[in-house]
Structure formats: C-alpha cells, structure tokens
Structure 1
Amino acid sequence: MQLLFQVLLNGVLQGGLFALMALGLSLVWGVLNIVNLAHGAFIMLGGYVVWVLYTQTGIDPFVLLPVAALALFVIGYAIQRGILNLVIRGPMFNTLLITFGLNVVLTYLAQIIFSADYRTINPSYAGRNVAFAGATLPLVNLSAFVIAIALTLGIWVLLLQTRMGRRIRATAQNLVAARLYGVEPRNLYALTFAMGAALAGVAGGLYGMVSQLNPYIGATLTAKCFAISIIGGLESPLGVIVGGLVLGVVEAFTSLWLGSTFVDAVSFGLLVLVLIVRPTGLLGRTV
C-alpha cells in the first residue's frame, strides 16, 4: 500500500508539470485555432535558456524561470506577428505546415548550438527530499509542481477576471462580435501566442530540473501536450490541470505495473478512449 501511495504522489507531481507544459498549447489552440507543432520545441528552448544561464552564472534555476519566460515571450510574439499572422485566416493545414517547419528548424538549430548530448539542470539541492505521510517527495519535483499549478491557476484567473482575459475569451468565441466591441485581433493573437510560448519557457526550465534536455525532445512533448489538452478539454485551464494530473498518474502506474516501455502506448490509448467516450474532454461541455 505504501508503494502505491508513493507512486500516486509521483504521478501527481509529474502531472502538475504536464499541465503547465500543455497549458500554452491549449491556450493558443483554443483562441487562435492553431495546433502549434513547435510547442515542444519552445519547451526545449526554455530548458536550454535556464541551463545556459545556470551553468554560466550559477544563479538558482528557479530564479531564472522569469528570464526563460521573457525570452520565449519575445520569440513567440515575433513568430506570430512575422509569420503566423500572415496565414491565420487560411486553412488550418497551412499553420500546421508552418509550425511543423518551425519545429524542425528550432530542433536543428538547438543541435548545432548545444549538440545532441543530454543536459540536466542540477542545483545544489537536487538530491533533497521532503517526507510526507510516509512517502518521499523530491524537493525539486515538489517545487516544480507548486509553480506549475500556481501558474496554471493564475492563467485561469487572468482569463476569467481581467479585461485582457475577457477579450481573449470573446475573440475565441466570436471574432466578429469582438471586433464590434473594439478588440484588435492582430495584437491580441500575438499576445496570446507569446503567452503560450512564455508558459512553455517556464515549463522547459522546470522540465530540465526533473528530467533531461535534448534537442529532439520537442516532438514527444508536443504529442504529450496534445493528448493532455484533448483529455482535459479546451474549455478552461482547469481542464488542462485535470488532463495533466490524469496522464501523470496513469503513466506512473503504467511504469510500475507494465514497465516504461508501455507508457506511451497506454497514454495515447487513454486519449483514444476519451475521444470515443467524451470527445469534448473530461471537463469539456457536451452539446
């Protein structure tokens, strides 16, 4: 029983980080109707930003997370205004091709700059643990979980309680009506895409502390974020939290009972099951 409890907690901690990783993809998808295939590459870049600054300056990697967010915000804003805005009204296939191309370009640029070696962000307290109800929680994983959930809830509050959030939701629901009320969609689209990239940057920094960075992790992370967004539903950030936690726990128990080889198979099997039983996601509205 103690082992199961430990695995459950590990899955919950992992699921919180999953939720943050998927939040940026879900936000862009829900507002801009763009499935950003370069989202995983943004996460990878955020991890490398924190890794480079940490290894060069020795500053605590958690303190460097806002720097990664700012760097990816600028990159995301420039990409949306300079590239994606040109085809935002075209078929979704066009944006899929462009973001796929961006993913390839960013991946190979990262390989040229950082090589294909695995990198890990290891602060001095990386081996410390926190005891909880007889279980052991790694301090870094617990801190990453708290930050991930706090940011996810913060985005939820921003979307529901702020003027910008109301504009974002209005644009996502009815672009014509939003324009009639004075919303400028081009700037709003760029800000939304940049926010998604900034969240990916923070997620990348946290991911580098609990796992290993490599230029080729982007495609796998994008697929995982896609699955989380579908499982939880695109209606609100709460759905992303639920989707991330569900996937994290499922993967933890799959690794325990079946081995790590079957983790991806079970995860995407769960995605297929959710699409069959509840196509709008666990927290999505039914028509």
Structure 2
Amino acid sequence: MAILIETNTKPDRPYWLWALITIGIACAAFALADGRYGLIFETLLTGLGTTVLVAVCSYALALLLGLLLALASRSKTLWLRQAARFYIEIVRGLPALVILLYVTFVGAPLLINAYQWTAQAAIAAGWFPDVQVRDISNLVRGIVALAFAYSAFLAEVFRAGLDSIDKSQSEAAYALGLSRWQTFRLVLWPQAVRKVLPVLGNDFIAMVKDSSLVSVLGVNDITQLGKLYASSSFLTVETYNTVAALYLLLTVSLSLLLRKLEQHWRAKGYQKD
C-alpha cells in the first residue's frame, strides 16, 4: 500500500514578523508617551556606531582568518594541516569572554614586550616607533579577540562547504588547464559560498550580539552605555528595555536582509544550473 505524503512547498507567511512589528509599534508608542525612554534612547544611540564597528571589523577579520585556516586544514602539507587543526580545536574549546580577557590582558602585553625586545635597537635609532601597551586601545583588542574567537568556527564552516563539492569538478578544472588558484576562485569558491551563506549569516548575527562582550573592557558600546546610564539614573527597567530593543532591531533587520540575500543567491544559482 502506497502512502502519499503531502509536502508544503510554499513558504510560510511571516505572521511572526507582523506580530513583532505590532509589538514594536505598541512599545514605540508607549516609549514616546514616556519622556524617559527618549533620553535613554538618545544616550544609547551614541554607542550604536561602536557596536556596528566592532561587529563588522571583527567579522571581516574572522572571515579572512577562517578562510586561511580552512585552506590550511585542507593543505597537502602535514605540518600546516596539523597547525590549523591545533588552533581550531584550542580556540573552539574556549569561551569568547575568556579569549577576550586573554587577548586584552595577556596577549597584547606579551606581543608588545616581544616587539620591544626584538626591535630595541631599531627603536633606539628611531627607525621603529616606540609602542607601549597603553597605545593599543581596548576597542582594538576587543575586535582582535572576537575575530580570533569566531575564526575557528568559520574555518569549519568554510572547510565543510569546500569538502561538500564533488572532487570531479576539481579534476575537470585541472583537465581544462586551470591552476589550483583558478580552480578555487572560479569553480570551488562560488559554490562553497552559496552552500554556507545561511551559516555565515547566522554567525554574523551572533557576532552582533557577542559584540556586547567588549563592554567588560569599558568600550562604550550599547551595553556599556546602558550599564552606565542605569547605574547613574536608577532607571534599570527602562534602560535595559531600550538596550534589548536596539539589539533586537539590529538582529531582526539583519536576519531579514540575509534571508533576502540568500533567496537571491539561490535563485541566481538555480538559473545558472
């Protein structure tokens, strides 16, 4: 006896989005009626640029480092594969906050001390600048630390995307006379990006949320300004309501934008196929 299973191929209507918009409009109307929310919003808005800067810069560095790690983990050189795997496993096993604190208070001083020790003659001669630990801002340290934290996960994403492409395509490209770089750039990379785009989008949204970790370093992002305003005004509920609303506005907007981009790439890929 055959069993027919009916599958729904039509996308669900975004009722959740309309519900969220309705709640947002109601909350905005309530906030406008309460003058305190306007002051809180103006204060926190100054940290929005810092939040976006940290998220974008950290993610861009993480993408670059993650791609290099993915390529290293697929290299034919044994020590390169093992070194990449060592880094990935170590970083993936540490919380992002621990990496942030380690890079800020251990990694940066060690790096500066190593620089001063190796280049002390050039620094004394005035050829190299005399850089001190205090010259590296906590903002830069936070960006680098988050990039390290996410690079290991992105490396696995890229590696999985590249490994999912059939080896016959590489063999066909080599048979046509393409070099390894041309094969990667023209054949493997476009297909891998299309496959892992949803995961990359989710990781970027996660980066936006994890950018709040830099507040422990005193960086004036949305979270830090919210903490300072709440402690000085005692408007704890109103302040953190506004902080949550700003992060939710960022993440939901990015989620919708990335979903449209994913649909566009998918349709473009189907047309090519």
TM-score with structure 2 setting the length: 0.29
RCO comparison, higher one (Cα < 8 Å, 6+) = 1
The structure with more radius of gyration: 2
TM-score with structure 1 setting the length: 0.28
In terms of fraction of residues, the more helix-rich structure is 2
